[in-house]
A = this chain, B = another copy of it.
Amino acid sequence: MNEPRLVEVRRKILKENDVLARSLRERFRRAGVQVISMVSSPGAGKTTLLERVLTELRPNYRVAALVGDLATENDAARLARSGAPVKQITTGTVCHLDAGMVERALADWSLGDLDFLFIENVGNLVCPSSFDLGEDLRLVLVSTPEGEDKPLKYPTIFNTADVAVITKLDLADAAGIDLTALAENIRAVRPGIKLLKLSARTGEGVDQLNDLLVSRRQFQAAPAV
């Protein structure tokens, strides 16, 4: 196996991605758009949560979303029900978004017309961790049926996130999950990370996420002294 050579090529690609992500981040800052990305396992509830967040923020903010998947436009169709502009990025066989895909998807959007831009990554707890997308906040979601040990087994993705969101709180009892242990495992991997618990289906806890996003936007938009 040629691991060392692959690692070398990967490193170069990652470096190019970082350069591009930095320029995206600067563009987002100048345009005054708050950019939030979401990563998780497949089926942890990114799209359901995002549909609710878009719907709830939309009366007061100009919101839009990019959504990544290997195949199908299903998620873009679901998210478009919120009334927000949504664009699907299909990656083919690639297990993550990269900054170039984000840049190309934004080519015909005017960033200055947006308050919040959400980027839903491909469902994957490994690959997306290495790729900066220029976002201001990265949310990692873990759903209660996945079990308590996911943070310990996929530490890198939790380490690159700013906020951990425990989803499918309404299934916690049925799944027999120990929520305290899950929270402890998240904090063991990433001490001090902001941690929210919610159910996108019932709506429980979603307000707290929205409040956090709005307060972050207010903080970022405040003039520097």
Contacts and interface: CB of A to CB of B under 8 A. Distances in A.
Given A2-B13, A16-B2, A124 B153 contact: no
A127 B6 contact: no
Contacts of A147: 43
Contacts of A95: 95, 124, 126-127
A70 B123 contact: no
A127 B125 contact: no
Interface residues of A, number: 49
Interface in A134-179: 142-143, 145-147, 149-150, 152-156, 168, 170-171, 174-176
Contact of A155 (B70, B130, B145): B70
A12 interface: yes
Contacts of A6: 9-10, 13
Contacts of A5: 9
A72 B174 CA distance: 26
Given A2-B12, A124-B124, A93 B156 contact: yes
Contact of A42 (B16, B17, B41, B176): B41
Contacts of A70: 126, 153-156
B41 A17 contact: no
A74 interface: yes
B74 A153 contact: yes
Contact of A143 (B125, B145, B155): B145
B93 A153 contact: no
Contacts of A175: 145, 171
A81 to B, nearest CB: 15
Given A123-B125, A126-B95, A174-B171, A152 B72 contact: yes
A149 to B, nearest CB: 6
Nearest to A130: B93
Closest 6 CB pairs of A and B: A43-B146, A95-B126, A174-B174, A145-B145, A41-B42, A41-B41
10 contacts: A2-B9, A41-B41, A42-B146, A43-B143, A69-B153, A70-B153, A70-B156, A71-B153, A123-B153, A143-B145
